[in-house]
Amino acid sequence: AQKVTQAQTEISVVEKEDVTLDCVYETRDTTYYLFWYKQPPSGELVFLIRRNSFDEQNEISGRYSWNFQKSTSSFNFTITASQVVDSAVYFCALGFSGGYQKVTFGIGTKLQVIP
Amino acid sequence: NAGVTQTPKFRVLKTGQSMTLLCAQDMNHEYMYWYRQDPGMGLRLIHYSVGEGTTAKGEVPDGYNVSRLKKQNFLLGLESAAPSQTSVYFCASRALIGAWDTEAFFGQGTRLTVV
């Protein structure tokens, strides 16, 4: 069975602090994809990143970075020098080849950045 | 470029009433999806479509029907609304470029309350 666990349901940080959102996944497949989406208070879901199982390189995009570790089945997301605009619910998701219908979403982590 | 547009954004229904949610995308995407988002449960797939005239069941299809008569539109119907269908509904679309090369684009959501 496929499962995505986001153990942190809510996190509060003070602006400019760094924060890491955890994502642990379970799958028996050897080929899979991991995603992060952001859901700001306005409600829409915004795609942040996709990583396939063959590519364990970490990625940095501005203040955002992602740490993919197959050994621990984790795909963690770090925001450096957080800003109020980062306040949102962040979803980690696990998908497989053969169609997006096989994507499993975590329950989300609500991040509040306090000014 | 509007992307994915959902209509309506808010709706209150009485138990037993019917309604249709409309999703329209202007990106010529082949794949379209309907999800529901409930507290503590992430996003769950209701139905999806891999092309005009085709639909398939997702994880939680009961109580819903869909139609995709035109490529750009994906309709979600509730024939007899129940309080358990109170949720936020998201439509998404994705291009077909290989099996897994593209991310999904989401609409802004429809908040439905069934009383």
Summarised one tens digit per residue, pLDDT across range B20-66 is 999 999 999 999 999 999 988 889 999 999 899 999 999 899 999 99
pLDDT < 50: residue spans in chain A: none
Q: What is the pLDDT of residue A100?
A: 64
Distance, in Å, from the CA atom of B2 to the CA atom of B20, rounded to the nearest integer, reads 21
Cβ contacts of residue B39 below 8 Å, gap of 6+?
A: none
pLDDT band at B97 (very low <50, low <70, confident <90, very high): low
- Considering chain B, what percentage of its residues have pLDDT values greater than 70? 95
pLDDT of residue B100 exceeding 70, the answer is no
Q: Is the pLDDT of residue B1 over 70?
A: no
User: Are residues A4 and B33, on separate chains, in Cβ contact within 8 Å?
Assistant: no
Q: What is the DSSP annotation of B20-83?
A: EEEEEESS--SEEEEEEEETTTEEEEEEEEEETTEEEE-SS-TT-EEE-SSTTEEEEEESS--G
CB contact under 8 A, A97 and B33: no
> Residue A27: what residue type?
T
What is the rounded average pLDDT for all residues in chain B? Answer: 92
- Residue B109's pLDDT band, with cuts at 50, 70 and 90, is very high
Amino acid (1-letter code) at residue B96: L
Position B2 confidence tier, pLDDT thresholds 50, 70, 90? confident
A-chain residues within 8 Å CB-CB of B45?
Answer: 101, 103
Is the CB of B92 less than 8 angstroms away from the CB of A45? yes
pLDDT of residue A11: 97
**Mutating which of B87, B94, B97, B103 best tests the A interface, going by the most A Cβ atoms within 10 A?**
B103
Q: What is the pLDDT of residue B99?
A: 53
Asked if B108 and A103 come within 8 Å (Cβ–Cβ), the reply is no
From A95, A112, A104, select the one nearest A41 (Cα to Cα): A112
